[in-house]
Amino acid sequence: MENTNSYISGIGSYLPSQILTNKDLEKMVDTTDEWIVTRTGIKKRHISTKEEATSDLATKASLLAIEDAKISSEEIEMIIVATSTPDMMLPSTATRVQKNIGAKNASAFDISAACSGFIYGLSVAHQFIINGTMKNVLVVGAETLSKYVDWSDRNTSVLFGDGAGAAVVSRNNIGSKIIGFHLGANGNPPREWLMLAGSGSVNKAENILEEKKNFITMNGKEIFKFSVNILPSIITTVIKKYGLTIEDIDLVIPHQANRRIIEAAAERLNMPIQKLYINIDRRANTSAASIPIAMVDARRENMLNKEDIIVLAGFGAGLTWGSMLIQY
Ligand SMILES: CC(C)(COP(=O)(O)OP(=O)(O)OC[C@H]1O[C@@H](n2cnc3c(N)ncnc32)[C@H](O)[C@@H]1OP(=O)(O)O)[C@@H](O)C(=O)NCCC(=O)NCCS
C-alpha cells in the first residue's frame, strides 16, 4: 500500500434545541450571570432532552459531515466516537451511530480521552488513511454532559453543555490537509481533579447514587492551572514539530473550557486574541464535541480561508492533551 496524505473532507455539528441561560441558572443555584460571564465567558448552553442520547446527537452531526464530504454512509470504513458520556458502558456509542447512519461497511468503536478525545480520534483516523488501508473514516465528538451534572453544585453546573461535532477524514485530496499532530497524557495527578466516577469497576453500582458518583466533580483551581500551562505548550509543540512558527498560524481552534484559559494562552503565545477562535459564550464546555462544533461555527462565520494554517488543541481530564496542525 502506498503512503498518502489525509484530509478533513467534511464537517458537521448538532446542538440540541433546548437552551439554558445564565439567568435560568440563577434560579437553580446560588450564582449570577455576571459571575459566570466574568469567570468563564459562558452566557448559555444547549441541553439535551431526557429522550436524547449521545448517539442521537452524534448521528445528526455525522450525517451532516458525510453530506459535507459528498460521500455516502456506505463509503465510511471506520467510525470513532470520542465521548465521556456514552449511551452505555456496553455496547459502544459508535456502533449505535453505525446503525443510525447506515454505515454497514464500517467498523466502530469509542475513545475515552475526555476533552482531548476528538484530537485523539482524528489522529487515529489519520493513521488508517496515510498508510493506505482506508479511504474514509468518520470521527465524532459527542456529549450529553448535562445528564451527569449535579444541578445543585455551582462549581460545575455553570460550565458544561451538550452537543456533537463530526469530521470525515479521507484520502480524496479535498478539504483540509492534516499536516501532523502531538498527543500526550499524564495519569499522575489525582483523578479527583476532574472525574465522572460513574459505574466503573472502582465503584459498586449500588452505591453510585448515594455517593453521588453519577455526577462530574472537579477541582477547578487545579484544572485551571493545568489548562493555562498545557494549552500554549501543545500549540507551540505541534507548530515547532512541523517546522513552523507562531507567525505562520492563521487560526487556533482550542477546546472551549473557559474564556480566561484561551485569553491566557493568547497572551503567553504573544498572539492577538482574534487568532484564537472562541464560541464558549453560546456553547459552554462540550468536552469532546467542543473542537468540531467550533470548527463548524468558525466556518459559518467565514473565519476559515483556503490554505489557512490552523491549530486544533484539546486538553482535559486524565490528564490528556492533543494538538493537530491542518491546512484548510
Ligand atoms: C471553575 C472556575 C470557573 C472557577 O473560577 P475561579 O476564579 O477559580 O473561582 P474560585 O473557585 O476561586 O471561586 C471564587 C469564588 O467564587 C465562588 N463561586 C464558585 N462558583 C461560583 C458560581 N457558579 N457562582 C458564584 N460564585 C461562585 C467561590 O465559592 C468563591 O467564593 P469565595 O471567594 O467566597 O470562597 C475555574 O477554576 C475554572 O475554569 N477551572 C477550570 C475548569 C475547566 O476548565 N474544566 C474543564 C477542563 S477540560
Output the CA 195–ligand 1 centroid distance in Å.
Answer: 16
Q: What are the backbone angles phi and psi of residue 319, rounded to the nearest 5°?
A: -80, 150
Residues of the chain with CATH 3.40.47.10: 7-175, 179-327
Grid cell, residue 263, equals 485569553
Pairing of strands 309-316, 251-254: parallel
Output the CA 297–ligand 1 centroid distance in Å.
Answer: 27
What angle (nearest 5°) sits at the alpha carbon of residue 285, between those of residues 218 and 147?
70
Grid cell, residue 149, equals 451534572
Output the CA 155–ligand 1 centroid distance in Å.
Answer: 6
CA 276 to chain centre: 16
Q: Which residues contact 237 (CB under 8 A, 6 or more apart)?
A: 182, 323
Stated pTM of the model: 0.96
> What number does the ligand 1 atom closest to the CA of 114 have?
48
Element (H, E) at 161: none
Task: State the architecture of 7-175 in CATH terms.
Answer: 3-Layer(aba) Sandwich (3.40)
Q: Cβ distance 286 to 293 under 8 Å?
A: yes
pLDDT value at residue 297: 98
Determine if ligand 1 sits within 6 Å of the CB of residue 316: yes
CA distance linking residue 71 with residue 105, whole number of Å: 13
Q: Which residues of 52-73 are buried (b: 16+ CB within 10 A; e: fewer)?
A: bbbbbbbbbbbbbbbebbebeb
Mutate to test the pocket of ligand 1, among 224, 226, 230 (most ligand atoms within 8 A of CB): 224
Give pLDDT tens digits along the chain (328 positions). Answer: 556 899 999 999 999 999 999 999 999 999 999 999 999 999 999 999 999 999 999 999 999 999 999 999 999 999 999 999 999 999 999 999 999 999 999 999 999 999 999 999 999 999 999 999 999 999 999 999 999 999 999 999 999 999 999 999 999 888 999 999 999 999 999 999 999 998 788 887 777 887 788 899 999 999 999 999 999 999 999 999 999 999 999 999 999 999 999 999 999 999 999 999 999 999 999 999 999 999 999 999 999 999 999 999 999 999 999 999 999 9
pLDDT value at residue 211: 76
Q: Cβ distance 253 to 311 under 8 Å?
A: yes
Output the CA 220–ligand 1 centroid distance in Å.
Answer: 6
Element (H, E) at 67: helix 54-68
Catalytic residue chosen out of the listed positions 136, 258, 279, 285: 285
Grid cell, residue 161, equals 453543555
Catalytic residue chosen out of the listed positions 46, 126, 182, 255: 255
Q: Cβ distance 255 to 132 under 8 Å?
A: no
Give catalytic status of residue 285 as yes or no: yes
Determine if ligand 1 sits within 6 Å of the CB of residue 155: yes
CATH classification for the domain delimited by 179-327, as one of 3.40.47.10, 3.30.390.30, 3.40.50.920, 1.10.287.180: 3.40.47.10
pLDDT value at residue 174: 86
Q: Which of 219, 238, 279 is nearest to 255 (CA)?
A: 279
For ligand 1, atom 29: residue with the closest CA:
155
For ligand 1, atom 24: residue with the closest CA:
31
Q: Cβ distance 121 to 140 under 8 Å?
A: yes
pLDDT value at residue 204: 79
Output the CA 290–ligand 1 centroid distance in Å.
Answer: 20
Give catalytic status of residue 255 as yes or no: yes
Catalytic residue chosen out of the listed positions 22, 115, 136, 172: 115
Determine if ligand 1 sits within 6 Å of the CB of residue 139: no
CA distance linking residue 200 with residue 303, whole number of Å: 41
pLDDT value at residue 2: 59
Output the CA 284–ligand 1 centroid distance in Å.
Answer: 15
Element (H, E) at 261: helix 259-269
**How would you class 209 by CB atoms within 10 Å of its CB: exposed for 0-12, middle for 13-18, buried for 19 or more?**
exposed
Give catalytic status of residue 46 as yes or no: no
Cα separations (Å) of 186 from 252, 260, 320?
Answer: 23, 23, 6
Q: Which residues of 272-285 are buried (b: 16+ CB within 10 A; e: fewer)?
A: eeebbbbbbeebbb
